[in-house]
Structure 1
Amino acid sequence: MLFQIKSYLKFLWKSENEHGVHSPFVFLLLTKCWYDKKNKAEYTVLNEYRKTLLRNTNTIEVSDFGAGSKIFKSNIRKVSAIAATAGISQKRAELLFRVVQYYQPKTILEIGTSLGLATSAMALANPKAKITTLEGCANTMSECELLLQKFNFKNVNCITAEFESYFSSLDFQLLTFDFIYFDGNHSKKATLRYFHHLLSTVSNDTVWIFDDIHWSLEMEEAWEVIKQHPKVRVTIDSFQWGFVFFRKEQVKQHFILRT
């Protein structure tokens, strides 16, 4: 916690808003999307999805996975407690909704479903998108699937699998993802593995979001490696999330911006 507080103070010192941005591409993202304060009917749906989870007193066994698909920890938790601590906030869900609505990606990959709070935001933002979401814990995914069905989100393909096993089964040369939301294993090693695994799936307009880039020193180091990769053209550090863009026509730039 102390590390994150120090990181946040550094972020506040270095960060800017739209007035310090001289990239038209990033300026439009901020003014048309990030800072859009208009209320949207979809926010009510997202809030009701969240409330349904917070009212769910069912208990499930939650499993976390280590290397080689082996469970290294499991515990019994209430669904409501998971939703209160493990999912993204309402504010973040609304921002994710706006970002997906702004870019309208056709193919979306989410790494780390949990109970689907982020999933629902993306599914609602573009009902025509094909969303693949990965979760290692079968019990958590089962609760998520039930709720996605209840809210009639039909554009989500839920896959229960340990991430490394799933990636090793794919031919990445045949895949393209327009949008990827990384919210899985928050370690430097795993984050960079996912990054390199999925680089071949990007197109010029692909957007990636990495969650918790200031979670630890390791995650900050991973973020620095990602920023320096030759394929990466523009990054935005919003403290909670790191945005990555691959647009070849953009000058390589890194921004630290408040949402």
Structure 2
Amino acid sequence: MKSNILFRLQNYLKYQYNAVGPHALHSPFLFDLYNQVIKPARKFRLKNVEKLRKELTTNHTIIDLYDLKTHTHYRKTISSIAKTSLSTPQFSAFLFKLIEWMKVERVMETGTSFGINTLYMAGPEKVNRVLSVEASPIVSSIAEKQFSKLLQHKIEIKQGTVQDVLEHQIIKEQPELCFIDADHRLDAVLFCVESIMAHSKNIKCIVIHDIYWSSDMSNAWTQIVSDTRFNLTVDLFQAGLIFTKIEMPKQHFTLHF
């Protein structure tokens, strides 16, 4: 655990040193990404969703969980999971603004957690469907309770691991944006990216969360950045962005978030 914290701190310092703002962006696409998505996300909030986030962080119900990686059972409170696993409000707002800016109608997510990001992604008016894949039955059920309060008509959870259900769902859903936030291992992340690229003709953007969570995640991101199929990749530290339909010489940017 300590080594992971040190790894993230070292990479955060590198990120801060390399990150640029709009003054360094000559591409109109990136300039708009910064000013219409990244910058507004600092203040934009969905108050009804943030109310649900607060309720989750104060819910001390204990739930039984199963770790697919270590094959162990353990118990945690909903509040402790919410405090450590949910994205920041700024990042949730970023997902909303990105989807709104790109005029996306169909979204896919891996790793529902308690559904806060899912609700933000379902929020833009043009979005008509968000399909979220979650491996844990108990976590899925808690997320569905949140969806029953807001935007239930737009959202569906498919329970299962990405290895078991993702390819079929991509073929069925044909998402325009995919948010990868489930299994934080190199092979799983690359599997998700390859499945999306192989089976979704409509994909515009892939967002990979926690690219500096561990050396494994960082290695996955490094491989993606160097992939010649992707002309534009963007590092926000909290996430990496792959824009799949941009016609430009291959470039990579690190932007202040």
* 1:248 CA displacement: 4.4
Q: Which residue of 1 aligns with 2:58?
A: 55
Q: Which residue of 2 aligns with 1:189?
A: 187
* 1:128 CA displacement: 3.5
Question: Contact 2:133–2:166 (CA<8 Å) still a contact in 1?
Answer: no
Question: Contact 2:230–2:250 (CA<8 Å) still a contact in 1?
Answer: yes
Question: Tell me, what secondary structure is at the counterpart of 1:154?
Answer: helix
Q: Could you tell me how far apart the structure 1 residues matched to 2:127 and 2:10 are?
A: 41
Q: Which residue of 1 aligns with 2:217?
A: 219
Question: Tell me, what secondary structure is at the counterpart of 1:8?
Answer: helix
Of 96-105 and 132-141, more deviation after overlay is shown by 96-105
2:176 pairs with 1:178: yes
* 1:239 CA displacement: 0.6
Whichever residue aligns with residue 235 of structure 2, its letter is: D
Structure 2 stretches lacking a partner, 5+ long: none
Q: Which residue of 2 aligns with 1:112?
A: 111
1:20 pairs, out of 4, 17, 24, with 24
Matches within 5 A, 1:67-82: 72-82=71-81
2:36 pairs with 1:32: yes
Q: Which residue of 1 aligns with 2:230?
A: 232
The percent identity for this pair of structures is 24
Q: Which residue of 1 aligns with 2:97?
A: 98
* 1:47 CA displacement: 1.1
Question: Contact 1:105–1:126 (CA<8 Å) still a contact in 2?
Answer: no
With the length of structure 2 as denominator, give the TM-score of the two structures.
0.91
Q: Could you tell me how far apart the structure 1 residues matched to 2:153 and 2:199 are?
A: 24
Question: Contact 2:92–2:116 (CA<8 Å) still a contact in 1?
Answer: yes
Matches within 5 A, 1:107-256: 107-126=106-125, 128-167=127-166, 170=168, 176-203=174-201, 206-256=204-254
Q: Residue deviations 1:132-164, cap 9 Å, x none?
A: 101111001101101110224320111110221
Q: Residue deviations 1:39-89, cap 9 Å, x none?
A: 55x5212211201212322221122213xxxx7122111112111111111
* 1:127 CA displacement: 6.2
Question: Contact 1:62–1:139 (CA<8 Å) still a contact in 2?
Answer: yes
Of 139-148 and 122-131, more deviation after overlay is shown by 122-131
* 1:104 CA displacement: 2.5
Distance verdict in 2 for CA 1:177–1:37, change over 3 Å:
closer
Question: Contact 2:175–2:202 (CA<8 Å) still a contact in 1?
Answer: no
Question: Contact 1:237–1:257 (CA<8 Å) still a contact in 2?
Answer: yes
Structure 1 stretches lacking a partner, 5+ long: none
Distance verdict in 2 for CA 1:151–1:249, change over 3 Å:
same
* 1:175 CA displacement: 5.1
Tell me the C-alpha RMSD between the 2 structures: 2.0
Q: Could you tell me how far apart the structure 2 residues matched to 1:251 and 1:129 are?
A: 33
With the length of structure 1 as denominator, give the TM-score of the two structures.
0.90
